Amino acid sequence: MSEPAPEASPQRREWRLAGIIYFCVLALGILYATFMILWPFLTAIIVGAILVTLTFNVYKRLRDRMGGRAGRAAIVMLIGITFVIIIPAVVLVLLLVQQANGLIQHFQSGEAQQFVQRIDIANRLAFVHRWVPSFDPASLSPQRMILPVLRQAPGWVATHGAGFVGGLAGMVVTFFLILLSAYFFYVEGEAILTELALLSPLPARYDQEFAAKFKDVIDATFRGQVMTSLAQGIATAVGLAIAGVPGSIFWGAVATILSLLPMLGAAVVWVPATIYLYIAYSMGDRGLFGAVFLTLWGILVISTIDNIVRPWAMKGKAQLPAIPLLFAVLGGMQAFGFIGLVIGPLVFSLLSSIVDIYKRSFRIPQSKSDVA
């Protein structure tokens, strides 16, 4: 008489194949629904996580001094972040609005339009027509290219003014959501990391490698990119102000934003400003000092800040090469908006980590040295 088959274990009886498939489908559906719910707030959540990552060491020291009261320490951190970010941002916005209004009035003034009309590019480029008969120097006339833009500037401002005000209101709401996200990550961040490590099927050393890569990319992006861009924007604004270029603070802010994009930088601002000063000098409207000063300032100060501030700010942090970084930043910003400035390099860096892990763990050895 044959022996009865051994009874299946409780876990095997509970998780049959159909049950496993059903659970996977159910889990994926719930995860997708959760993602769709959080999608409108994803930027605020990511920015909150970035702020916490950059300041978590300060938070830990503050929490220890407050006797381990995580909630109170998080509130103090949020108050400090609010004052550090909001007050300078409000002052900067007011200055930018004032400078923008001044620029519009300057561009609309008869003096500015007369200056543009006096730039006789057609006669200066007439010699090109002799060599290239199809080239029309009048097509580059400032009267055709610049004056229409100057005349339409007030209408554009009036049309988009309401949208700008609405955007400011949306920014206030977003900042409040960022503070809520940061509070949650301050208080629960360590527990979240522990839970993710328990859920991850990867070996512990690879979980630690991904966490370290995440922090390194955020540090590299903030310290290397943002601090360098701020330094170049401030230097550009100072140089333009000394040289006497109208709207120096406004153009300094433009230089800061352009400096965030690899391979562009503040030269997009100070080089045209220098050309403008030389043209004004050739017409007798300005002295030579401003043009010469801005040329030297741009070459010796603005262009070298990147080589001074970035290595100091990075402090040994790894960074992507220039061309992959350019694609990562531009593609990230196109896909995720301004927060793509961080998400793009982060995705590329994590991709590099995945390739390294695969080579170390799964690649077929090609030589005896690899086997050893």
Under the phi-then-psi rule, with left for phi > 0, alpha for psi from -120 to 50, and beta for the rest, what region is 135?
A: beta
Residue 104 neighbours by CB under 8 Å, 6+ apart: 153, 154, 157
Would you state the pLDDT for residue 1? 47
Q: Which residues contact 315 (CB under 8 A, 6 or more apart)?
A: 223
pLDDT digits (tens, 9 = 90+) for 257-305: 888 776 677 888 888 889 888 878 877 777 889 889 999 999 999 888 8
What are the residue ranges spanned by the domains of the chain?
Answer: 40-140+161-199, 204-356
Q: Is the pLDDT of residue 206 over 50?
A: yes
Residue type, 350: L
Q: Please state, for a pLDDT cut of 70, what percent of the chain lies above it.
A: 71
Give the chain's mean pLDDT: 77
Higher pLDDT, 95 or 165: 95
Looking at residue 75, what is its pLDDT? Answer: 93
Identify which has the larger pLDDT, 293 or 347. Answer: 293
CA pair distance 12, 246, nearest whole angstrom:
77
Q: Classify each residue of 294-313 as buried b or exposed e, where b means 16 or more C-beta atoms within 10 Å of its C-beta.
A: bbebbeebbbebbeebbeeb
Containing H/E element for 74?
helix 70-108
- Collect contacts of 310-316 with beta carbons under 8 A, ≥24 apart: 310/224, 310/228, 313/223, 313/224, 313/227, 313/228, 314/219, 314/220, 314/223, 314/224, 315/223
Q: What is the pLDDT of residues 40-61, one digit of tens each?
A: 888 889 889 888 988 898 999 9
State how far the Cα of 41 lies from the Cα of 178, in Å rounded to an integer.
Answer: 9
Q: Which two tokens stand for residue 234?
A: 């401030």
88-145: pLDDT as tens digits: 777 777 777 777 766 666 666 655 555 655 555 556 555 565 666 666 655 555 555 5
For residue 33, the model assigns a pLDDT of: 94
Spatial distance between the Cα atoms of 170 and 163, rounded to a whole number of angstroms: 10
Q: What is the DSSP string of 7-59?
A: PPPHHHHHS-HHHHHHHHHHHHHHHHHHHHHHGGGHHHHHHHHHHHHHHHHHH
